[in-house]
Amino acid sequence: MTVTNAAELGQIKSSIEKREARIGIVGMGYVGLPLALLFSEERFAITGFDIDVRKVDMLNRGASYFARIPGTEVQSAQASGFSATVDYGRIAQMDVVIICVPTPLNEFREPDLSFVTGTVSSIAPYLREGQLIILESTTYPGTTEEVVVPLLEQGNPAKLRVARQADIPGFYVAFSPEREDPGNDTVARRDVPKVVGGCGQVALELASAVYATIFNRVVPVSSPAAAEMTKLLENIYRCVNIAMVNELKQLCLRMGIDIWEVIEAAKTKPFGYQAFYPGPGLGGHCIPIDPFYLSWKAKQFDFNTRFIELAGEINTQMPYHVVSAVSEALNGRKKSLNGSKVLVLGVAYKKDIDDLRESPALTVIELLQDQGATVNFNDPYFPFVGQGRHYKLNMERVSLDNLADYDCVVIVTDHSDYDYQRIVAEAQLVVDTRNATRGIGAANVVRC
């Protein structure tokens, strides 16, 4: 797939439109697998790459490891040619390679690009002329040009360079941020506009053509950095507004005002207001992390993102607020948190999904344990919680058969599967962080 003139560019676009281009997606996680299935629906023969042998084996057996993706969808993709592999040597066979790997924070809340750099370094030896490499991982502005491109150029044996014009041989690079929203059943994936920024006009046109096959609208921007900043803006917007309402919630508690009632009243305004809701903290791969990515990058330009950093601090402190509320609620019943039995309901970062990434529930559990509480958890999506990058729990799910045995039940994630009427009726004390018990009038409920 070498672009040397407009005619060849047209031929390549035609191969994409005819679903003949071979597409490889690296990272079969929360972003990569749904993307692979979306391309498969359009009859592309997709190859999924992952270093996790268990995931690859399950996919090749037509099984799924995500609750929201049934195995039948994987099997339908296989009928269109989908397969998974741990063999990065097959990258050489791909016309398009899309990278969908995590970009977490390290222990110092600084960007950890090890998954990106490791993946790019694994791809580079198999890079060939004319390939299009697209990064989808959320990251700071400049990553594509400053990190990905140099690694690809230095790591390929043929010493190919990124081609920024149609008449220059090489490979093509673009950035297109993922816009996954796990659990959102109201907006179809293909209806979410796809932002694309390329290293040169050819890369932009090719990447736009690829995504136009599965998304109803493609939004081209001037550069990868502009696309990278677009993703950060979207998530920082949410982070800042959630921080504001979390802070207002704490003020309303002191003032004896129901913040949930206030929000419901405010959102009746038909203009100038969008409702955001308080909670026990932020979770997911993007919103808790993205502000720190931008703050880190901003320091390279002698710029201090005070507003954004403050929002991150407020949201980071919310699990501590929850634990303090639990302690106060127990004190009101002449009990100490130290030695109390506490049941945490919900460990996913939001309702009705099987996603633990950056979940505030994990921090709440650890903080409760640090205060001497005996903690159990229940979540319909997780039979077990083990070890992650920033937590070590090793806990098995318990049933809801003995709610009365606990000194306090803490609702951290408001899954739809829970019978909140029953929970309130049977529990000694309920601390509700999500307003899940709204409309249930009971003296044993504390909303925080």
Q: Rg of the chain's alpha carbons, rounded to an integer?
A: 24
Distance CA 239, CA 290 (A): 9
At 428, which amino acid appears? Q
Query: What is the greatest pairwise CA distance in the chain?
Result: 80
How many Å apart are CA 41 and CA 73, to the nearest integer? 9
Residues in the chain: 448
Do strands 374-378 and 96-99 pair parallel, antiparallel, or not at all (unpaired)? unpaired
Per-residue DSSP letter, 197: E
DSSP 3-state of 441: coil
AA letter at 288: P
Percent composition of the chain: helix, strand, coil (DSSP 3-state, to 5): 40, 15, 45
The answer to whether the CB of 41 falls within 8 A of the CB of 214 is yes
Q: At a CB cut-off of 8 Å and minimum separation 6, what does 94 contact?
A: 22, 23, 24, 47, 131
Angle at 139 between CA 296 and CA 50, to 5 degrees: 135
What is the set of active-site residues? 286
Count of CB atoms situated within 10 Å of the CB of 304: 11
Q: What tokens were used for 3?
A: 């672009």
Q: Which amino acid is present at 393?
A: L
As a three-state string, the secondary structure of 278-338 is CCCCCCCCCCCCHHHHHHHHHHHHCCCCHHHHHHHHHHHHHHHHHHHHHHHHHHCCCCCCC
Q: Strand 392-396 to strand 384-387: parallel, antiparallel, or no bridges (unpaired)?
A: antiparallel
Q: Return d(Cα 24, Cα 210) in angstroms, integer.
A: 12
Look at the block and give the residue holding tokens 């058969």.
401
